[in-house]
Amino acid sequence: MIEATGLTKRYGDTTAVEGMTFTVRPGRVTGFLGPNGAGKSTTMRMIMGLDRPTSGAVTVNGRRYAEHRAPLGEVGALLDAKAVHTGRSARDHLLAQAATHGISRRRVDEVVEMTGLASVARRRAGTFSLGMGQRLGIAAALLGDPQTLILDEPVNGLDPEGVLWVRHLLRGLAAEGRTVFLSSHLMSEMALTADHLVVVGRGRVIADAPVGEIVARAQSSAVQVRTPSAPQLAAVLVRDPGVEVTSLEHDLLEVTGSTPPAIAAVAAAAGLVLHGLAPVETSLEDAYMQLTADAVEYRSTTPHAAAGGRR
């Protein structure tokens, strides 16, 4: 379990993290989602005791990282896959880390096997691709068989097979009752991996809820109606205050401010035939864009990335 309370970090004039309060619980995968610059890596460094909070606190299983006697057995982290001694082999890198905690060679070989590094374990880590580096970082995080895992953008640089592998691994670890906290700026990957999301923007928590709830909350209230009598239906629908109708195609309307049963009732009363009536689905991607629309630090000028989702 990870608990952050009023966690704040300033670097000079930059406030990287501002008053974050959240709890990451065991037995599920919690996604830490936010645009670049939102403060995810800074928060993770503070969890691991690599950066000191300006104010507030964060604990793992009730203690600050430095207060744990054998931290590798408590919490494993992948923060920067490039942070390895490039001249050492992958196996030697893991053996050196294992030695600091009295972890056996057998466990080293186990994590090498688990992360699919067996065939390259004796190669110098400096020759590794980003994807292999990520695997090595995950192997190091798993070394102490920790109850809590923290991974900063673990799928960056992985091929599709690697992405799938990470997803299964993390879901499996959560199913064993572990606490799994991973960051990403990629909504689509998070949707498939996480059960719960802590969404952040500009250093603050903007949502903390189950994945499904975040989508439901952003659910657009629009309903699409297919009818051969589109103009007539539009005319009767807009008599209700608050209802707006947009014509999408000659026989397709998008209605806001109403519900499928209410639209059906209005159509029936006017003797108009309906061919289809469907709430407009909000994708997790849309929900994310809506949540973070005001929180994107570096906004792209291309219309595609100019947040705001569907509306």
CB closer to Mg ion out of 41 and 227: 41
Helix (H, G, I), strand (E, B) or coil at 225: strand
Look up residue 257 and give its two tokens: 């401010």
Counting Cβ atoms within 10 Å, is residue 16 exposed (0-12), middle (13-18) or buried (19+)? buried
Taking the least distance from each CB to ligand ADP, the nearer of 10 and 171 is 10
C-beta of 157 vs 260, nearer to ligand ADP: 157
> Contact between 36 and ligand ADP (CB under 6 A)?
yes
Residue nearer to Mg ion on the CB measure, 40 or 135: 40
11 near ligand ADP (CB under 6 A) = yes
Q: Cβ closer to Mg ion: 40 or 93? A: 40
In a 3-state reduction of DSSP, which class is residue 213?
Answer: helix
Q: What is the C-alpha to C-alpha distance for residues 30 and 170, in angstroms, rounded to an integer?
A: 10
Contact residue for ligand ADP among 1, 6, 14, 85 (CB under 6 A)? 14
Contact between 41 and ligand ADP per CB under 6 A: yes
Distance CA 300, CA 245 (A): 31
Q: 209 by DSSP, 3-state: which?
A: strand
Shortest spacing between CB 224 and ligand ADP, in angstroms: 36
**CA–CA separation, 38 and 32 (whole Å):** 10
Residue 221 touches ligand ADP, criterion: CB under 6 A: no
Residue 41 near Mg ion by CB under 5 A = yes
The alpha helices in 194-276, defined as continuous H runs, are 211-218, 230-237, 260-269
Q: Is 16 in the site for ligand ADP (CB under 6 A)?
A: yes
Rounded to 5°, the CA angle 30-139-103 comes to: 110
Longest Cα–Cα distance of the chain, Å, equals: 80
- Cβ atoms of 26 and 78 within 8 Å: the answer is no
- Give which of Mg ion, ligand ADP, none residue 196 binds (C-beta under 5 to 8 Å, depending on kind): none
Note whether 42 binds ligand ADP by CB under 6 A: yes
Kindly indicate which of the ranges 30-38, 71-79, 205-213, 302-310 contains the residues binding ligand ADP, using the contact rule CB under 6 A.
30-38
Q: Is 34 in the site for ligand ADP (CB under 6 A)?
A: yes
Instruction: Write down the least CB distance from residue 189 to Mg ion, Å.
Output: 15
Amino acid at 30: T
Residues of the shown chain interacting with Mg ion in the complex, contacts defined by CB under 5 A: 40-41
Residues of the shown chain interacting with ligand ADP in the complex, contacts defined by CB under 6 A: 11, 14, 16, 34, 36-42
